[in-house]
Amino acid sequence: MQGETAAAAPIFVFGLACSAVLLSAGFAVGTWLARRDRRAPQFEARQAIEFLRGLMQWTNGVAGEVAEYREVVEDVAKRIDPAGKGAVGEPDRADGAGPLLESVALANRRLKTRLDDAEAALRKQSAEMATMISAASTDSLTGLANRRVFEQELRRRFAEWRRHGMPFSVLMVDVDFFKKVNDSLGHLAGDSVLKEVASTLRATMRETDLVARFGGEEFAVILAASGAADASQAAERARVGIARTPCDYDGGSVPVTVSCGVAQATTDDTPERLIERADKALYAAKHAGRNAAFWHDGRQCRPLSRRESIAASGSPARIPPDTLGDGFAAIAEAVRRRLDEVTSGQDSEWPA
């Protein structure tokens, strides 16, 4: 009986290992499927199904090997103990124990080989699953969370706010004159600008904030535990930080500015309405001349601060060309600076 117990021990240990692995894999798959947006592309569902099929095939293969191993061990145990009461039977010949032990050793080797193969297959499938999860949640260009993740987190934040009263705000960020960058320098330059903006947004936001690419040249940030004051500061940090970080491309420097819109969640909001209010603030910043940040207070849009010019921010002093010509853009910029000076109480001569 001691021989049977010793031979059966690997089955028990192996069974526990298989159970733990399958439970972990099943939990990962279940969690991912539960968090998937129901509007997700169908190809992701097919990928998940293929992963589960592979996991099932792996399970069936290992189960077959374990069953075969068990049969070998049981056969050896019966030949050693025919009565099953601890009595040792007489082998057919003097060296009869040798073939029995060799059968167990062979079964052990086969099971170990199968286990090694199964482990390699599981590692491969786990890596594929990790890639699927990453692709389903990450923007491939910037490495930020994608819009689906942003919308999921926004719904979660709303639910948390309604339960516990934890305030939060949404920041929308749009790259100024992005189409001109693509048209004049090419789409690779535009990609570099988006990557630079994404990097600066990550650097200027807190770890608890979710930074996502919303679409095109627009980004969105969920500002956790942030009311009006904190959200306004975050918007200004992002705007000034981006203006001070020109994008290096093809041996040159591309000045970049953004317009920002901020809104705090209120009792009248839904996720859609909150984004709509932040968007209105963003467009107010655009209409105010860009490189600006506005706040939507629930009724109207208000500027967060006097807009910092590109030159003052440390970036190259270059005014993006306007659709009506560089001359008109220069005059408009001069008028804007003069209005800023008058409203802030500063005195200066009118630019020539």
What does the block give as tokens for 9? Answer: 């021990």
Least Cα distance to 259 among 320, 191, 334, 338 occurs for 320
How much is the average pLDDT of 307-316?
36
> Is 70 exceeded by the pLDDT of residue 2?
no
Other CB atoms within a 10 A radius of the CB of residue 123 amount to 10
pLDDT at 213: 98
Other CB atoms within a 10 A radius of the CB of residue 242 amount to 28
Distance of CA 159 to the CA centre of its chain: 21
Q: What is the pLDDT of residues 104-139, one digit of tens each?
A: 777 777 777 777 777 777 777 667 666 666 667 899
Supply the pTM of this predicted model: 0.59
For domain 147-320, say whether CATH 3.40.50.620 is its number. Answer: no
pLDDT at 192: 97
Model confidence band, residue 336 (pLDDT cutoffs 50, 70, 90): low
Model confidence band, residue 17 (pLDDT cutoffs 50, 70, 90): low
Q: What is the pLDDT of residues 199-240, one digit of tens each?
A: 999 999 999 999 999 999 999 999 999 999 999 999 999 999
Q: Please state, in angstroms and rounded to a whole number, the distance separating the CA atoms of residues 240 and 315.
A: 10
Q: What is the pLDDT of residues 259-307, one digit of tens each?
A: 999 999 999 899 999 999 999 999 999 999 999 999 999 999 999 865 4
Strand partners, 219: 173, 213
pLDDT at 95: 54
Q: What is the pLDDT of residues 45-58, one digit of tens each?
A: 666 666 667 666 66
pLDDT at 18: 54
What does the block give as tokens for 251? Answer: 């041996």
pLDDT at 307: 47
Q: What is the pLDDT of residues 145-155, one digit of tens each?
A: 999 999 999 99
pLDDT at 188: 96
pLDDT at 299: 93
Q: Which of 196, 217, 308, 333 is catalytic?
A: 217
Strand partners, 103: none
User: Does the annotation mark 217 as catalytic?
Assistant: yes
**Burial, 67: exposed, middle or buried (Cβ in 10 Å; 0-12, 13-18, 19+)?**
exposed
Q: Average model confidence (pLDDT) for the chain?
A: 75
Residue 138, helix vs strand vs coil: strand
Least Cα distance to 149 among 204, 213, 224 occurs for 213
> Is 80 exceeded by the pLDDT of residue 59?
no
What does the block give as tokens for 149? Answer: 């993740």
**Structural domain spans, the chain:** 2-137, 147-320, 325-352
